[in-house]
Structure 1
Amino acid sequence: MTNNHSAIAKQTKQFQLLVCIYVDHQNVHLTQYLASQLLEFVKSQGHLIDVKVYYNSLDPAQVFAKDKLASFGFKWIDVPCPLKNSADNQSMVDCLEDIHSDRSPDIVILVSGDGDFVKLVLTAQKLGKKIIAFAQRGNVKQRLKEVVGSDFHFLDELPSLIGFKTQPQIENSQCQLTYNEAVEYLIEAIKTALSKRKRAGLGFINSLMCQLFPKYQGVNSVCKHQGKTFSRFSELVETAVKDGKIRFQDNQLFVIEADKVSA
């Protein structure tokens, strides 16, 4: 029984979206409250694998902030350079290296309003990654907001985002799609991504489904059973894989050919 539970837990973890956070501390100064809210938000997105905070030890204020947040276990990366954008450049290099690594994140959370990150966002999106950005009001470039789109938020919106994501999804009225309809949308989104030579990562396919099918409003709009809905996109994917509808390999989704399904 224990081995069975272990196997189930391992399989469930396989389908979890992997999340990395990159914080531009020169642009956004995280407080203990915001840091805890950000981590709570990540729980609704997937499995957090890393938090990298970029700061300049030549600035006493940033060093003080680093010490205040020491208990959170973030990876603080010191870029002690007076040149403009030095920390931004380092974080962009690190992010792209992480994306091309063996444990590539499905979701990249960028905590910055700096326009320097526009190119990184566009590149990551082309590689099939979902980008979520948080910035402080009054300190954000419009172009960054545009390229991130609906997944751009201000940090002061975190409490409401957490409240929305953690509401129990149990009422029939919230169900807009049947499971079979959602699978059809899922398959079509995978085909669309692959036809455009985009990597069909979990985060990217979820976003693409929202764009292609207005009726799909995230997995909490998909009926599972007894009026309940799916709580995570990875849960929907895992179910579709078990049902033989799609294939998941190398952190990417594929459509199983019709002849193999009917065989």
Structure 2
Amino acid sequence: MPHDNQSSNRQTSQQLPLVSISWDYQNAKLSPYQAKLLFNLAQSKGRIISAKVYYNAQCKDQVSVKDDLGNLGFNCVNVPCPLKNSADNQLIADCLEEIHSNISPDKIMLISGDGDFVKLVHNLQKLGKKAIIVAQKGNVKQKLKELADEFYFLDDLPQLTSDTNQPKIVSIVSQINCKEAIEYLIEAIKTASSQGKPTVFGRIDKLMRQRCDNYQGYLSISTDDGKKFKSFRACHQLGKVE
């Protein structure tokens, strides 16, 4: 269970605004290097509590998203549906669900210039949240740009974030040892089971993030010999509850 020093860290970290990233990959395709700069920009706005990128693995130009961005700490949400706006609708639904969760972000960084998100931004602002829009030049709706509490062009990321004044991407990923991770994992599985919910990765991962500030995905878990897990499944097997 949490140690005393974790409680102290939680009090310090909660002084910062909580930031959530929602990325529409279809609208804004970035390289892993650009994604790192994006993380740095988000971290300059507060403490990142979630980072999701929505993509469709059925599209050839999006097949590598999970490998390229998953290792950077993004939660890659595959929406393999041929219907128009299916990924956008999933992003909107997840964003609103997160807003009403136990750990609600203060700022939502939306990576897209799609006009379909105008209503979402309106709703976020009505709920007292700040919307940060980051989009590519020449691919952003003017209304979305005007509504944003803060607006940035993806093309300007190198100037907005630099190695000299921003921490490396690895500093974003908190560290938690294997023993602690298993305790939180078991607690999350029991919680989901008691609620009659399936113990799938997305739900368990979310519950663990809510209960442990230092857990930021399986990449933040280290074994006794200092190594990291290559997948969430490996940790899940260690904490499997009968």
TM-score interval for Structure 1 and Structure 2 normalised by the shorter chain: 0.5 to 0.7
Superposition map of 1:166-181 within 5 A: 166=165
Match in the other structure for 1:105: 105
User: In structure 2, what is the Cα distance between the partners aligned to 1:18 and 1:115?
Assistant: 25
Aligned residues: 164
CA deviations 1:103-137 (Å, max 9, x no partner) are 10111000000000000001001111111111111
Judged with a 3 Å threshold, the aligned counterparts in structure 2 of structure 1 residues 40 and 102 are, in CA distance, closer, same or farther, namely: same
Q: The residue matched to 1:72 in structure 2 has which SS? A: coil
TM-score norm. by structure 2 comes to: 0.63
Match in the other structure for 1:155: 154
Superposition map of 1:1-263 within 5 A: 8-149=8-149, 151-163=150-162, 166=165
- Measure how far apart 1:7 and its partner are: 5.7
- Measure how far apart 1:5 and its partner are: 6.6
5+ long unaligned stretches in structure 1: 168-263
Contact 1:44 1:166 in 2 (8 A): no
User: In structure 2, what is the Cα distance between the partners aligned to 1:21 and 1:87?
Assistant: 15
Rg (Cα) greater in structure: 1
- Measure how far apart 1:99 and its partner are: 0.2
User: In structure 2, what is the Cα distance between the partners aligned to 1:39 and 1:146?
Assistant: 23
User: In structure 2, what is the Cα distance between the partners aligned to 1:4 and 1:97?
Assistant: 31
User: In structure 1, what is the Cα distance between the partners aligned to 2:5 and 2:85?
Assistant: 48
Q: In angstroms, what is the RMSD of aligned CA positions?
A: 2.2
User: In structure 2, what is the Cα distance between the partners aligned to 1:35 and 1:139?
Assistant: 18
5+ long unaligned stretches in structure 2: 167-242
Contact 2:55 2:65 in 1 (8 A): no
Judged with a 3 Å threshold, the aligned counterparts in structure 2 of structure 1 residues 4 and 152 are, in CA distance, closer, same or farther, namely: same
Q: The residue matched to 1:93 in structure 2 has which SS? A: helix
Which structure shows the higher helix fraction? 1
Percent of pairs identical after alignment? 53
Judged with a 3 Å threshold, the aligned counterparts in structure 2 of structure 1 residues 5 and 83 are, in CA distance, closer, same or farther, namely: closer
